[in-house]
A and B are shown apart, each in its own frame.
Chain A
Amino acid sequence: MSNPNKKRLRRTMMFLNAQKPGLIKDPYIYKPDSIMLDLEDAVAENQKDAARFSLYHALKEIDYRGVERVVRINALDTPYWKEDIRCCVAGGCDAIRIPKTESANDVKLVEDAIAYAEREFGRPAGSTLIMAAIESARGVMKALDICEASERLFGIALSGGDYTKDLQTHITGTGIELMGARQNLVIAARAAGVQCFDTVYTNLDDMDGFRRDVETIHLMGFDGKSIINPRQISIVHDIYTPSEKDIVFAEKVVREIDEKKAQGIGVFTVDGKMIDIAFYDGAKRTIELAKASGVYKGDL
Chain B
Amino acid sequence: MEITRPAMAGTLESSDCQVTVEKGEGKIDLTLDSAVINQFGNQICRVTMETLERLGVDSVKITIVDKGALDCTLKARIEGAVYRSLQQKEHLPWGGMIR
Interface extent on B, as a size class?
20 to 34
Count contacts on A: residues with CB < 8 A to the other chain: 24
Q: Contact flags (1/0) for B46-79 with A, using CB distance below 8 Å?
A: 0000000000000000000000011111011101
Q: Which of A249-280 contact B (CB under 8 A)?
A: none
Q: Given A53-B79, A90-B94, does the pair A61, B89 have CB atoms closer than 8 Å?
A: no
**A57 interface residue (CB < 8 Å to B):** yes
How far is it, in angstroms, between the C-alpha of A272 and the C-alpha of B23 when the chains are bound? 81
Interface residues of A in 78-121 (CB under 8 A from B): 82-83, 86-87, 90-91, 121
Closest CB of chain B to A124's CB: distance in Å?
14
Q: How far is the CB of B36 from chain A (nearest CB, A)?
A: 15
CB proximity of A233 to chain B, nearest CB, Å: 21
Report B62 CB to chain A, min CB distance, Å.
15
Q: What separation, in Å, do the CA atoms of A122 and B94 have in the docked complex? A: 12
Q: State whether the Cβ of B5 lies closer than 8 Å to any Cβ in chain A.
A: no
Write out the residue numbers on chain A whose beta carbons fall within 8 Å of the beta carbon of B84.
Answer: 49-50
With A60-B72, A90-B95 known as contacts, the answer to whether A53 contacts B80 (CB < 8 A) is yes
The interface residues of chain B lying within 8 Å CB-to-CB of A62 are 70, 72
Closest residue to A53 on the B side, CB-wise?
B76
Q: Are B99 and A60 in contact (CB under 8 A)?
A: yes
CB distance from A164 to the nearest CB of B (A): 32
Q: In whole angstroms, how far apart are the Cα atoms of A20 and B83 in the complex?
A: 19
**B14 close to chain A: CB less than 8 A:** yes
In the bound assembly, the distance between CA atoms of A71 and B86 in angstroms comes to 26
Instruction: Check if A282 is an interface residue, CB within 8 A of chain B.
Output: no
Asked whether any CB of chain B lies closer than 8 Å to the CB of A58, the reply is yes
Among residues of A, the one whose C-beta sits closest to the C-beta of B75 is A57
Residues of B within 8 A of A57 (CB): 72-73, 75-76
Task: Look across to chain B and name the residue whose beta carbon is closest to the beta carbon of A83.
Answer: B90
Q: Which residues of B contact A (CB under 8 A)?
A: 9-10, 13-16, 69-73, 75-77, 79-80, 83-84, 89-92, 94-95, 98-99
16 additional contacts (CB under 8 A) given A57-B76, A90-B94 = A21-B13, A21-B76, A22-B15, A25-B15, A49-B89, A53-B9, A53-B79, A54-B73, A57-B73, A58-B72, A61-B70, A61-B72, A62-B72, A83-B89, A83-B91, A87-B94
